[in-house]
A and B are shown apart, each in its own frame.
Chain A
Amino acid sequence: MAVSDAGKLQLPENVVVSRLDSLANWCRKNSLWPMPFATACCGIELMATGASKHDLSRFGAEVFRFSPRQCDLMIVAGRVVMKMLPVLQRIWLQMHEPKWCISMGACASTGGVFDTYAVVQGIDRFIPVDMYVPGCPPRPEQLIQAIIDLQDKIQREGTITGREFETAGRQARKRALVEIAEPLSIDASRNPILQRELAADSASPAGRS
């Protein structure tokens, strides 16, 4: 890396500096490989989303794989009956990290109109879900919007070590933060957002909870 006359570091041409997390997220979000768990009419819309008219490959997610080992995005499209749920859970466990799940349509999200003994009332009762798509069935545009939102979520929260998936671990750290007796000393002079929050704190005597 070159050093300029003024003593500042200069990047050569065609070199970009980024955080590794951010770079990994950029790669991951633009190459989502969906696992189509299509059980009902939502599956038809899922196929239409992947087909030429709606063209899911514009978002890098057109490579539908039927092996969970090769996928990182499970799209549950349609109602899941109680006989199918162990299969769904097994496929979810067989997918490699990092992995995400979209619950597509009213049935996958809530059971829909099928409030009967045989139909699971929302897959999020039994496996983790990142995005819910409303609709019966949703239009391909809605599914594409969910994938775009999921890409945003991956870019925003993702880490190369997958810390965002360790929910129990994250909660433990949150509890540890509360127990810190003295607040961290942070220089707020260059951070307008922090300044506003500190001002709000001093205005309310109870302080932030």
Chain B
Amino acid sequence: MPSTPPSVDDVLAALAEQFGDLPSSVFRGQTRVVVPESASHEVLSFLKERGFDLLVDISCVDYLDYRESPMEMAACAGHRYGLVYLLASTATNQRLTIRVFVDDPEPTVRSVVSLWKAANWLEREVWDLFGIRFAGHPDLRRLVMPEEFTAHPLRKDYPLQGRGERHNFPVITRHES
């Protein structure tokens, strides 16, 4: 049985004092806070200073044609992309999930490389697969797909079998090689 992480009530109270009421929810002992895109950098910077020194992961969800709006939070209904920042504090063992919702066209959010160096490749991966721009990223290149790739393949409107990229190579015959 995994132990639940320590309570983050003190952090939520400090966030409410600083930024007003932010929608939050708890799922299996894990607290999630929804932050508007305009305030995301300030909130993450505040959390970094408050002891969340470890950025565990940045990922993203494409809610295009999602059956229900993201179920737990009515505040984010109708948004397309939901970024997920997983934070942890190595001192207090607290864990906190930050959700930031962005939309087409040009979904953009401020980069947090200046806060956590670990964000560099994580943001590059999200840019590569979802096409979300991170303003202020020092080196926003593709991470996993080839450089000549043009699409963002984990978007829900990208076909599963691709647009022919996997067939777009020269054929080497026995005669030529």
Contact = CB atoms under 8 A, between A and B. Distances in A.
Interface stretch (A16-24, A48-56, A86-94): A86-94
Interface stretch (B7-15, B62-70, B82-90, B168-176): B168-176
A120 interface: yes
Interface in B125-177: 144-146, 153, 158-163, 165-175, 177
A60 interface: no
- Interface SS of chain B: loop
Interface string A93-105: 1000001000000
Interface string A66-106: 00000000000000001101100100110000010000000
Contacts of A202: none
Contacts of A167: 173-175
A92 B176 CA distance: 11
Contacts of A5: none
Interface residues of B, number: 22
A113 to B, nearest CB: 13
Interface in B3-61: none
Contact of A166 (B153, B163, B175): B175
Contacts of A119: 166
A89 B158 CA distance: 27
B169 A126 contact: yes
Given A82-B146, A83-B145, A83-B146, A118 B166 contact: yes
Contacts of A86: 169
Interface string A115-138: 111111100011110000000000
Contacts of A166: 175
B124 to A, nearest CB: 15
Contact of B161 (A92, A115, A126, A169): A115
Contact of A128 (B162, B163, B170, B173): B173
B166 A89 contact: no
Interface of A: 82-83, 85-86, 89, 92-93, 99, 115-121, 125-128, 165-169
12 contacts: A92-B172, A115-B160, A116-B162, A117-B161, A117-B163, A117-B166, A118-B153, A120-B169, A121-B167, A125-B171, A128-B177, A167-B175
10 tightest A-B contacts by CB?
A117-B162, A128-B174, A168-B175, A83-B146, A82-B166, A167-B175, A127-B172, A167-B174, A126-B169, A117-B153
